[in-house]
Amino acid sequence: MSAVADKIIKRVRGKGRGWAFTPKDFLDLGTRASIDMALTRLVQAGQIRRIGRGLYDYPKLHDKLGALTPDADSIAQAVATQSGDRLSASGAQSANRLGISTQVPAKASYATSGQTRVKKVAGRTIALKRSRAPILDDASQDANAVLQLLAHVGKANIDDDLIHRLASQLDDRDLKALRKAQPLMPGWMSDAVHKIGLVRHG
């Protein structure tokens, strides 16, 4: 096996089974051509699996079912890496994550900085919807979830109760990231972030 393939499989194993990835995840290890060749060889050797065009995974294994389909989050993240877009949980998923709603969305949907589209990968359907809120690179999933939730519920439905509940979900680092991003937000969303900050440090 080539040196590039050795480095790739070492990184893949470090991420653990269930990880979905693209050649872009290894551009620091060699030329694009050498990475593509190494991935092809790793697929042929049965060490990784090709799940779509330019998409691969290191499948979780089940005693009876064999190699399992990667979860929607892992696929969506790989698709975002492939296109160079930022990704966050959708508004509905964010409401569930933050404890604002107990409903679990039936379909896997995500907010993206890219174009709205639907991808079918490894038997899963992933819906990507262009985000109305900024998606922050240097912020936690919770901080991004707050922005997606605000966009999801809309200006008219933000009340004191929601502000207090969101404030209780964030730590100071999350709040700092949100405040830094206020110039990127619509005015009403920036106002909501300001109120969350007042509640946390009021």
* Whether 93 and 49 share a structural domain: no
* Whether 54 and 95 share a structural domain: no
CATH at residue 41: 1.10.10.10
The domain total for the chain is 2
End position of a domain, from candidates 20, 50, 67: 67
Q: What is the pTM of this model?
A: 0.83
> Which residue range forms the structural domain that includes residue 43?
3-67
Of all residues in the chain, the percent with pLDDT exceeding 70 is: 99
In this predicted model, what pLDDT tens digit does every residue of 1-29 receive, in sequence order? 689 999 999 999 999 999 999 999 999 99
* Whether 106 and 151 share a structural domain: yes
SS3 of the chain: CCHHHHHHHHHHHHHCCCEEECHHHHCCCCCHHHHHHHHHHHHHCCCCEEEECCEEEECCEECCCEECCCCHHHHHHHHHHHHCCCEEECHHHHHHHCCCCCCCCCCCEEEECCCCEEEEECCEEEEEEECCCCCCCCCCHHHHHHHHHHHHHCHHHCCHHHHHHHHCCCCHHHHHHHHHCHHHCCHHHHHHHHHHHHHHHC
Higher pLDDT, 101 or 45: 45
End position of a domain, from candidates 28, 49, 67: 67
* Whether 18 and 87 share a structural domain: no
* Whether 39 and 97 share a structural domain: no
